[in-house]
With several copies, the nearest count.
Chain A
Amino acid sequence: MTSTAYEIKLDIFEGPLDLLLYLIKKNEVDIYDIPIALITRQYIEYIDAMKTLNLDLAGEYLVLAATLTHIKSRMLLPVSEEEDEEEEDPREELVRQLLEYKAFKEAALGLDRMKILGRDVFGRDYAGDEFEGDAQTIGEIGIFELVEAFRRMSFDTGQKELMEIDIEKISLSDRINDIVDELEKKGECTFTDLLGESSNRRRLIYTFLAILELMKLRIVKAYQSVPYGTIRICLAGE
């Protein structure tokens, strides 16, 4: 957002669907029978005015403009005589979308009318150190806080390598954790045990990589009594 004037103007609408709803209401037309030519013309006039102020944000508005124009052109096509009643109204999908949006817009207003804590009703203010928690138990913590903590650091230290965490690395950690869990429980496992019954290719690769990693780190040891025999894996211990 670069233009302040544009922002002010846009503030009235929460998006293209909101603008469309506004036009339908302003013209006092039936949402189930939208006079598409009229509404399309007004909609385009409106976004033309907005476009002169800012081109950036108009993207989503332009998509709907294209949809409206397309519907208008389809409405102009003569309806085939035979399949008259079977023919789908070109406006149907749009009406559906509008009604759905309208429902949620009203739901949002409904939420805003509720007795909101800190605005309409209040609880007691708690001095921070009043309660010290139990060290052994921990309440549920939002995952967002954890990711936020990680992100905070990666910006603080400016370490590029931190940013490169991807799903592959995490999946491997998953397998490593599962294998350590299993070994802690059973003491010793075979390679086949660790693969599990419903093993797919992906799982096989991750299991294999996880065991290699664990061996490299000397967390597990692998034994084989005879060549090509069963591979036994156990925790390396101290």
Chain B
Amino acid sequence: MDNLKAVIETLIFVSDTPITEARIKVILQDIKEKEISSAIHSLIREYEERDGGIFLREIAGGYQFRTGETTAPWVQKLRGQKPGTLSPAAMETLAVVAYRQPVMKSEIEKVRGVDVSGSLRGLLEKNLVRMMGRKNVPGRPIIYGTTRKFLETFGLNTLSDLPTLREFKELEG
């Protein structure tokens, strides 16, 4: 395929969620994984060097076109709305879920020292947090974890891309 890069660029562009290499491979049956991977990375570099308004990013295990950060104020002006942000309480609850998952509600409350029902519910509704199942202890409490949308929202490829919990490591050491 002589226009492999163009085809891959198109597939990434028309996907509404980050598209994985595996997914691209299924569509481009005859092309070797290595070729696909190298074409994608060549595209990423191209957009990086070009340094325009759009960049190809690795998100939630897939690839997606995203705008750069410097142009954000104009997008907000275009949309005419302030971006919906999370409250500090919601952000703290989200941080505990992200780093401690799978985690029970009672564990989050122990860390934060407050009732987290409201913030947890808000995060579930925003689909940043999900119920993962139940813990096999008496009462079988529900355990929570983050979603794919969490990775997409925070621009992470995998959970291991989360910055390390520095202070806490000192304590355990």
Contacts and interface: CB of A to CB of B under 8 A. Distances in A.
Interface of A: 14-18, 60, 64, 96-97, 99-112, 114-127, 130-154, 156-157, 159, 162-167, 169-171, 173-174, 176-177, 180-181, 213-214, 216-220, 235-236, 238
Given A134-B82, A140-B153, A180-B132, 18 more contacts: A101-B113, A103-B171, A104-B168, A106-B167, A111-B98, A122-B75, A127-B16, A143-B131, A143-B162, A150-B98, A159-B111, A162-B111, A165-B100, A167-B160, A170-B162, A171-B159, A173-B102, A177-B147
Which range contains the number of B residues in contact with the other chain? 35 or more
B31 interface: no
15 contacts: A104-B96, A106-B165, A122-B75, A127-B17, A131-B82, A133-B83, A136-B84, A138-B83, A138-B153, A142-B154, A149-B95, A163-B165, A177-B148, A180-B132, A236-B134
A202 B62 CA distance: 44
B106 to A, nearest CB: 14
Contacts of A165: 99-100, 164-165
B155 A17 contact: no
A153 B84 CA distance: 23
Contacts of A102: 167
Nearest to A114: B154
Contacts of B112: 14-15, 17, 101, 104, 153, 157
A147 B80 contact: no
Secondary structure type dominating chain A contacts: helix
A153 B168 CA distance: 14
Of B68, B165, B170, chain A has the most CB atoms within 10 Å of the CB of B165
A147 B163 contact: yes
Contacts, number: 288
A76 to B, nearest CB: 25
B140 to A, nearest CB: 8
Interface string B116-132: 00000010111110111
B10 A122 contact: yes
A176 to B, nearest CB: 6
In the complex, the 9 A-B pairs of residues with the closest C-beta atoms, listed nearest first: A133-B84, A219-B133, A103-B168, A125-B16, A139-B83, A150-B95, A15-B114, A119-B83, A218-B136
